Structure 1
Amino acid sequence: MSLNKKLVEFRKKIRANQTKVITSIIDEHSINICVFCGETDNLTREHVIPQWVYERCTKRTFITTINKNAQTYNKATVPACKNCNNSILGELERFLTHKFNYVDLRDEYFINDEINKIILWLEIIEYKFHVLNLRRNLNKVQGVEYIPYIGKMPIAMFQGSLDQSPSKVFSNLRNALKTLALKSKVIKHNSLCILSTTNPHFHFFHSTNNFIFIELAQYNVALFYFYKQEFATYAEAAALAQEIVQREYGVAGK
């Protein structure tokens, strides 16, 4: 089956099972269920950030937004059935890595269908982060006295603002999954910045409901995507992305 047909089936499964999936996750954050289609058999560990992105290094870490603690990429996983993980998402990633490997951004760009798939992939990562943050407890906050009651609450409850209500967290989760069922991403094309990079190392940062930046050193490609914002022109998005990258790293993005 072609990738496009697999993605059609993927969207159908999400639409058919999204209520079951979200209700199950809300009722029990640590439930073992495919977070995409709701399947309970043949479950696997789906990495929030695919292993090939960070070259399968088990020591690489990212900093959680609220805890300010280091989390290894290889242990940041969510449950997904074998079909969703290997057949669908795996095929999508193989397609993208092939394109990243052969497109030279100095001479050419991606066509609309390829841009749609890149956006879908980044939106899948965003959804997985929503799920992950509901499955992880706020065990401790650096430099602050530990409060047992708060420590048992999911990190997601503290994303964005300390007074974020559970209903808002669950609404964000629900909307992130619904987004994956949308075929066309045309209105968000200007929200995706695809840049050429010569940096030798992988970089990544992410702000839930806001944006994601992934620098794929092995392919000389960097991706910056605004999850919610839409832009009249690509130049507007690129300028804001550059500003955020400079603020994050203290150097100009390449």
Structure 2
Amino acid sequence: MSKKINSLFIPIRVNLRKHGAEIAEDVFYRFHPATLNVGSEICVFCMTQKNLTKEHVLPKWLFQNKTNIGFEIRANQQSISYLKSVVPACNNCNNSILAEIEKKIIFILENLEKNKYYDISDLENIIRWLEILEYKLQVFSNRLKYIKYANGPFSDFGTLPVAWMNYFWEMRPFKALSDLKFMQRNISIKNKSSNLNSLIIFKTKEPHFEFFHQNSEYIFISFPMYNYAIFYFSKKI
């Protein structure tokens, strides 16, 4: 099992090492106010423009396909359901790689719940999956427009990514770009042994779905179907 799932991460690591900088620049500048000629969409994992699909930022099995829950964007009081929160990915990356990784992660989580055997490699693969999840969150934030919603007291700045406004109300666009590149570098590192103490897995007394995160800092997910929750710190070793 470990060998099979480990091989699924290889093309993602290789592609981000090779094309990561170009992908990050494309994600960052696609909604930049100074960008006049926007090119065709690309897969944010391999850079191809062919057979693009919509990859959910949070997997549908995670939030159990519910339509009434989603992200609350504090910057401009915007709400968007998890079901509609997607990023562009080619058919191969979406269905042949990411979907297969998720199947293996589900298997690992099921084993945790049943107290069956798991090893260090399983924990490292959970970390790899969480880093991909964090990367998708940052791509999504860079593609989400900062505009006035409902009766919010905010001015309409025009087409600006929400990611630019996520840092204590400071206009820090290049922090968003550096975060993207940071997560790409994390994903491209094969060995996760030094990150194991940054991963906390614990049982939950009252199972329910909960999710929150801080870009390039931490991510928290509870899995009500497995009575477990996970905290992962991206930078702390």
Q: Same fold by TM (over 0.5)?
A: yes
SS in 2 for 1:213: strand
1:188 equivalenced with 2:198 (yes/no): no
* Other-structure match for 2:29: 27
> 1:108 offset after TM fit, Å?
6.0
Distance 1:154 1:109 in 2: 44
User: Unpaired segments of 5 or more residues in structure 2?
Assistant: 32-37
* Other-structure match for 1:14: 16
Distance 1:53 1:129 in 2: 14
Q: 2:80 is matched with which residue: 68, 71, 92?
A: 71
User: Unpaired segments of 5 or more residues in structure 1?
Assistant: 231-254
* Other-structure match for 2:95: 86
| Greater RCO (Cα-Cα under 8 Å, separation 6 or more) | 2
SS in 2 for 1:153: coil
* Other-structure match for 1:216: 223
Distance 1:145 1:37 in 2: 39
Q: Pairwise CA RMSD of aligned residues?
A: 2.2
Distance 2:64 2:58 in 1: 11
Alignment check: 8 A CA contact 1:126 1:176 kept: yes
SS in 2 for 1:218: coil
Task: Say which is worse superposed, 220-229 or 162-171, in terms of deviation.
Answer: 162-171
- Tell me the matched-pair count: 228
Distance 1:109 1:157 in 2: 43
* Other-structure match for 1:155: 162
Alignment check: 8 A CA contact 1:44 1:82 kept: yes
Q: TM-score by structure 2 length?
A: 0.87
Amino acid at match of 2:111: Y
Distance 1:102 1:166 in 2: 42
> 1:49 offset after TM fit, Å?
0.5
Amino acid at match of 2:218: F
SS in 1 for 2:197: helix
Alignment check: 8 A CA contact 2:75 2:169 kept: no
Alignment check: 8 A CA contact 2:19 2:46 kept: yes
* Other-structure match for 1:38: 47
